Structure 1
Amino acid sequence: MIKRLIYFLLFFTVIVYSQNENSLNDSIKKYKYTNPSKAIDFGIEFTNKYYDVKPTKIIYQTYGLIGEILQSNGLDDLALEYFNQTIKQYQSLPDSEKSFPSINYPPYIILNIGNIYLQNRNFEEAYKKYYQAIDLFNKIENKNVKFSGLNTSYSNIGLIEDLKGNLDKADSIYFQVYQKRITSPKHEDILYSLALLLSVEIRKNDFSVAQSRLKEIETYYDGLSSELKEKKGSLVRRNYGYSYSVFGAHYQSIKEYDKAIEYLNKTEKILYDFPNEITTMGSRIAECYFGLNNLKMAEQIARENLQIKNLSKTEKKYNYKVLENVYKKKNLDAELIKIKDSLILLSSSNLSAALFNKLGKLEISLNLAESKRLINENKLKSNGQLFSLIIFLIIILFILFVFWSNYNLQLEKAKRLELTNKNLNFDVEKKNRELVSKVNFISQRNEYLRSLKRKISSSSTNESLTLFKVNKQLDLVLKSENAYNEFDKVFVNVYPDFYEKLNKRFKLSKTDLRHAAYIKMNHSNDEIARITGVSKRTVENQRYRLSKKINLQSGEDLNTFISTI
């Protein structure tokens, strides 16, 4: 019973990811969930109209959509025809019109083909298709499509483990997908993952855990907006209803039919606008009434179910089985023969063989297409490699030419730079000589004038008045700024930024700056005293004041500091 429910769940996976397609035919999409029969009729009309038309994005997407609807209605052989056509149309489109130009197959179609293998219990092939889909989704740049597609693929792998009885492994996969889905506000996907966890917890006989899980689902659903829950064809409501159907299937499997009917009826009320799901619930309810020995209700519901248009062969079989058991108990041999004939007719149809034949042909077609793609890729790769080699050689020659040109250019620049440096060195040396000459001139002049002052000081008293005047004139000459201004000009030519740097950092007088200049020229205190015409003691005091203004730290040398500027 529970395994049968897992196959029912597989139809849900077809619908979850198809919401990512944006440009499908609105009319088919409108009836996809609420009236699948009408959607199929419209799909056939669409196919007849556009069968020979040049493939476009909307046409290939619509073929895929029709295939999904056929598959969800149990028409796997027809679904494969449409999936095969979808792949052909997709591959014939130019890259600019493909939904996913980086890949050669539409991944959702590969996923659907995997679902068909799973429904027919070919787990090995289903695995291959799901992992092929995962590989394709990983190559897609659209993050939303990749996220949804990968989660759906891994959920379906979990279904395989579930059907194989590897419940712990299935539980682990379902939980990992759930953890990823709760990071995205897509409520229908989150409810779907919770329902999967609920299903496997029941199968593991963790009934108390399953009851807590159902309360968690109810709390989550109650917190959603009414608009989201009540709109026609709401996937949120559908996945919520599935949780109750899980409990219904559980109680049916342990023969607590009253409880099973209660949960299945509740599921029917929630899924009132999902015909496929309603027919599945109807078949279960008929079986439960038979289990309660309420033959009248079992017969009535089974016959009502069989009147549903486009009822899948699987559901027909379940309802005929109910009627067969009812008529056996009632000893209605004539009715029993009719039912058995119907069952024989259903069983004798060569659907399974035809289905696997089509699957085989589809696999051959896919393999041939893949081989063709690889051959073309190898040709392109070979041509590309030759082209790349030619381009590489051209680039190498160009680089060599650039290096050769650059070498000659640098050689020419080096010669010019060497000549420029020689001229600069010559100018610097010339300016240094001028500066030293200027300093020597000032020093010698001052020394001469001081010597003259000493002689005047030793003259006789009668000459004192005249000599006093001369002495005053000599003092004026000694303290004259003209010579020092000339010195400053020459100094600035040799050290253009020296005064500017000092002025930016410290508040220094003209005397301080000039004293610093003498230190920059490596003059001692004695030499500075001779140049400036002051005593050595005065020079030492000037040096001390300059050190204070510069804020030299203890142990720092003024000469060293000045030389770094």
Structure 2
Amino acid sequence: MKPKIIFWFLFVCVISPPLCAQQNQKLDSLLQIYENHSDNQAKADLINEIIQIELYSNPVHVKNRIDEYISLCKKINYKKGEGQAYYRKAGYYRYKGVLDSALHFYQKSRQIYEPLNNIGGVLNANVESALVYTEQNKLDFAYERLNHNIDLYENRDSLANGNKGFKFIGTTYHVLANAYLEQGMYNLALKNELKALKLYELTENELYTADALNTLGCIEGELKNYQNAYTYLKEASESYEKHNDVANQVVSLINLGSVYFDMGDYDKAAQYQKEGIEAVKKTNHKPREAVLWSGLGNTYEKLNKLTEAIECQKKAIELNSELGFTNDILSPYSSIGNLYAQINDFEKSKYFLDKVIEQAESNNLIKDASLGYQRRSVLFSKMKQYDLALNDYKKFKAFKDSMFNTSKSRQIEELRAIYDTEKKEQQIALQEQEITVLEQEASISALQKLLMALGLLLSLLGFYALRQKMKRNKLEKEKVDAELEFKKKELTTHALNLARKNETLENLKLKAQELKEKENTSTGYNQLIRSINFDLQDDNNWENFSRYFEEVHKDFNSNVKTKYPSVTSNELRLLALLKMNLSSKEIANILNISPEGIKKARYRLRKKLDLTTEDSLQDLVLTL
């Protein structure tokens, strides 16, 4: 199991000041001042600062402190403080893993902030609610909260507060990137995090910029662009160190360790993880310490230091148990169960893997359940309990297939979302150009009337009109070019969707044939295979593609027919796809033939077009 990459820490930091050793040193003096302070707004702000420090170091005790904060704010009618107090209570429940309670108190916080026109409070409550929905895999609700923030930002000029409260709107895009990360939509995550980085840079706050850099490093790591990941994470770490932000420097060390783990450089991974463990002791941030110990345990396992690995996982389990983090404890449980199996301590191994499977299934944590069944299947095999091993392996395969199908669906959703975004952006660009043209026309009309009123020379009027016409023609050309570029994107997206659809149908067909051979009856499978064949051979798909193609490459088919009258309709299809510069695999999927069939088709086409071995078929097609 790879070490955990940390995303969630960032959202704590952008809403409240980063936890550091100096704050811990201040705690005793703050408590003393608070106890001797009269009940007023200043006292409420004091307890809020105390809660910020204790939330991570003493999460059990801090609940009473938050309730005290709420009571004080109600007593002195301090509405803003009451909204912040509910926000803190929601944060407490969120980090305890009681997510429904967290959502309830984020909503209460938002309901107090809205009548106060406290935009910052509303934005923060929406951001944190979105994070909870993401943890619950209720992504539609998460996007709803985040899009509400974006709508407020885009219409900020119409609000009573104007731009007030939007300084850190980058956080919304930051969390949106995290939601896409959770779905495995890394390109959309990258796009939104880059926007967050741009907005953070406008604040001239280096710590917020470092947060975005840290997440960009995580995204690039998931995309396996390890050099980019290292560059972003190293820059973030150096920025945190510069500002003595030890808490977030710890997280950058966690992520650097994870990147080196993925690269297979386990010695370097262990180095960063050990540095993180030393640093985290200054902050007393137990959740991050648990992640570090578990990550180091995974690294030691790769280095075949099994005894050290077990001790690391035990420390992670102890910390998560102390914090009551029931879901986060599954990773070290699974790892230690696997480690005990490797040293043939089957009883302890089964104990931990049983716990993983039971809790993961009850909380619908598919990844953890899948890994638990896989590892327990290996364990049963080592125990020579082959029936149980086979049963667990089947369950592992079922979960794995489910995750694979989910991953494929998300890839299609990401492609569609990117297409919709680009389409919207293109439409906006076209509208802006149309407005510019209209403004130019209005300007020309007004100027012509003025020239006539003033009786300027006809030659001067003609010269000016000619210049304006040239400008208008230039704008019209830009508009046509933009429309053509948009159609090219539509054509490419349609072709890729067609290729992916045919590939998926072909895989489904092979699976149906495989199942048919295993089952006694074949009637249902034959019907399914015929339906798939019908859809694979459906000419409507090609007709839709041809319509898009002709809009982009006008007269291509007629030019080919004129120059090469012997070309067949199938060869014309191949030429069209070559014109788009698609790969042989993509062309094979679209035409529903094998890659070897594509090679033969290209060879026959070269002969028909009288091309020698030195001539390039691709170059010829591009000139048609």
Structure 2 counterpart of 1:114, from 173, 177, 183 = 177
Asked if the contact 1:27/1:42 (under 8 Å) is kept, the reply is: no
Q: SS of 2:243's equivalent?
A: coil
Q: Which residue of 1 is the match for residue 379 of structure 2?
A: 326
Matches within 5 A, 1:3-42: 5-6=3-4, 8-13=5-10, 15-19=12-16, 23=84, 25-39=87-101, 42=104
**Mean alpha-carbon deviation: is it higher for 287-296 or for 187-196?**
287-296
Name the count of aligned residue pairs. Answer: 369
Q: Which residue of 2 is the match for residue 68 of structure 1?
A: 131
CA distance in 1, matches of 2:105, 2:365: 18
CA distance in 2, matches of 1:209, 1:345: 33
Asked if the contact 1:158/1:170 (under 8 Å) is kept, the reply is: yes
- Measured after TM superposition, the shift of residue 324 of structure 1 is 2.9
Structure 2 counterpart of 1:135, from 198, 203, 206 = 198
Structure 1 counterpart of 2:326, from 257, 270, 275 = 275
Change (3 A) 1:29 1:328: same
CA distance in 1, matches of 2:162, 2:406: 33
Asked if the contact 1:33/1:275 (under 8 Å) is kept, the reply is: no
- Measured after TM superposition, the shift of residue 315 of structure 1 is 1.5
Q: Give yes or no for the alignment of 1:183 onto 2:275.
A: no
**Structure 2 length as normaliser, TM-score?**
0.48
- Aligned-partner residue type, residue 347 of structure 2: K
- Measured after TM superposition, the shift of residue 255 of structure 1 is 4.2
Q: Which residue of 1 is the match for residue 291 of structure 2?
A: 242
- Measured after TM superposition, the shift of residue 171 of structure 1 is 3.1
- Measured after TM superposition, the shift of residue 132 of structure 1 is 1.7
- Measured after TM superposition, the shift of residue 216 of structure 1 is 4.4
- Aligned-partner residue type, residue 275 of structure 1: T
Q: Give yes or no for the alignment of 1:347 onto 2:401.
A: yes
Q: SS of 1:182's equivalent?
A: helix
Q: Which residue of 2 is the match for residue 260 of structure 1?
A: 309
- Measured after TM superposition, the shift of residue 279 of structure 1 is 2.1
Asked if the contact 2:378/2:389 (under 8 Å) is kept, the reply is: no
CA distance in 2, matches of 1:210, 1:335: 33
Q: Give yes or no for the alignment of 1:301 onto 2:364.
A: no
- Measured after TM superposition, the shift of residue 189 of structure 1 is 0.7
Please list every run of 5 or more consecutive structure 1 residues that lacks an aligned counterpart in the other structure: 230-235, 391-565
Asked if the contact 1:261/1:285 (under 8 Å) is kept, the reply is: yes
Q: SS of 2:311's equivalent?
A: helix
Change (3 A) 1:62 1:211: closer
Structure 2 counterpart of 1:173, from 232, 251, 255 = 232
Q: Which residue of 1 is the match for residue 365 of structure 2?
A: 312
Change (3 A) 1:281 1:31: same
Asked if the contact 1:73/1:312 (under 8 Å) is kept, the reply is: no
Asked if the contact 2:110/2:125 (under 8 Å) is kept, the reply is: no
Q: SS of 1:157's equivalent?
A: helix
- Measured after TM superposition, the shift of residue 178 of structure 1 is 1.5
CA distance in 2, matches of 1:260, 1:73: 31
Asked if the contact 1:244/1:263 (under 8 Å) is kept, the reply is: yes
CA distance in 1, matches of 2:171, 2:239: 19
Change (3 A) 1:367 1:169: closer
Q: SS of 1:293's equivalent?
A: coil
CA distance in 1, matches of 2:181, 2:347: 36
CA distance in 2, matches of 1:167, 1:53: 47
- Measured after TM superposition, the shift of residue 167 of structure 1 is 4.2
Q: SS of 1:32's equivalent?
A: helix
Asked if the contact 1:28/1:42 (under 8 Å) is kept, the reply is: yes
Asked if the contact 2:380/2:389 (under 8 Å) is kept, the reply is: yes
Q: SS of 1:33's equivalent?
A: helix
Q: 1:398-451 deviations in whole A, cap 9, x for unaligned?
A: xxxxxxxxxxxxxxxxxxxxxxxxxxxxxxxxxxxxxxxxxxxxxxxxxxxxxx
**Mean alpha-carbon deviation: is it higher for 323-332 or for 12-21?**
12-21
- Aligned-partner residue type, residue 354 of structure 2: R
Asked if the contact 1:158/1:169 (under 8 Å) is kept, the reply is: yes
CA distance in 2, matches of 1:208, 1:131: 31
Please list every run of 5 or more consecutive structure 2 residues that lacks an aligned counterpart in the other structure: 19-82, 447-624
Q: 1:309-350 deviations in whole A, cap 9, x for unaligned?
A: 535222122122223333444435368437734752673375
CA distance in 2, matches of 1:383, 1:129: 33
CA distance in 2, matches of 1:376, 1:36: 47
Asked if the contact 2:217/2:229 (under 8 Å) is kept, the reply is: yes
Matches within 5 A, 1:277-426: 277-308=328-359, 310=363, 312-329=365-382, 330-331=384-385, 333=387, 336-337=390-391, 340-341=394-395, 344=398, 347-348=401-402, 351-352=406-407, 355-356=410-411, 359=414
Change (3 A) 1:369 1:95: farther
Q: SS of 1:277's equivalent?
A: coil
Change (3 A) 1:44 1:214: closer
Q: SS of 1:174's equivalent?
A: helix
Asked if the contact 2:300/2:306 (under 8 Å) is kept, the reply is: yes
CA distance in 2, matches of 1:375, 1:29: 44
Q: SS of 1:191's equivalent?
A: helix
Q: 1:107-150 deviations in whole A, cap 9, x for unaligned?
A: 223223333444555544333222222122223x4x4xx43332
- Aligned-partner residue type, residue 391 of structure 2: I
Q: 1:355-382 deviations in whole A, cap 9, x for unaligned?
A: 4565566657766776788799899999
- Measured after TM superposition, the shift of residue 241 of structure 1 is 3.4
- Aligned-partner residue type, residue 90 of structure 2: I
Matches within 5 A, 1:127-166: 127-139=190-202, 141=203, 143=204, 146-166=205-225
**Structure 1 length as normaliser, TM-score?**
0.52
CA distance in 1, matches of 2:437, 2:244: 47
CA distance in 1, matches of 2:115, 2:423: 24
Q: 1:31-82 deviations in whole A, cap 9, x for unaligned?
A: 11122434466379879999x9999744553332122123345655654454
**Mean alpha-carbon deviation: is it higher for 180-189 or for 377-386?**
377-386
The percentage of counterpart residues that share the same residue type is 16
CA distance in 1, matches of 2:430, 2:150: 19
Q: 1:277-315 deviations in whole A, cap 9, x for unaligned?
A: 222222222222233333332322122223335352221
Q: SS of 1:9's equivalent?
A: coil
Change (3 A) 1:19 1:98: farther
Query: Based on CA coordinates, which of the two structures has the bigger radius of gyration?
Result: 1
**Mean alpha-carbon deviation: is it higher for 160-169 or for 30-39?**
160-169
- Aligned-partner residue type, residue 244 of structure 1: W
Change (3 A) 1:37 1:117: closer
Asked if the contact 2:337/2:353 (under 8 Å) is kept, the reply is: yes
RMSD: 4.7
- Measured after TM superposition, the shift of residue 9 of structure 1 is 2.7
Change (3 A) 1:281 1:73: farther
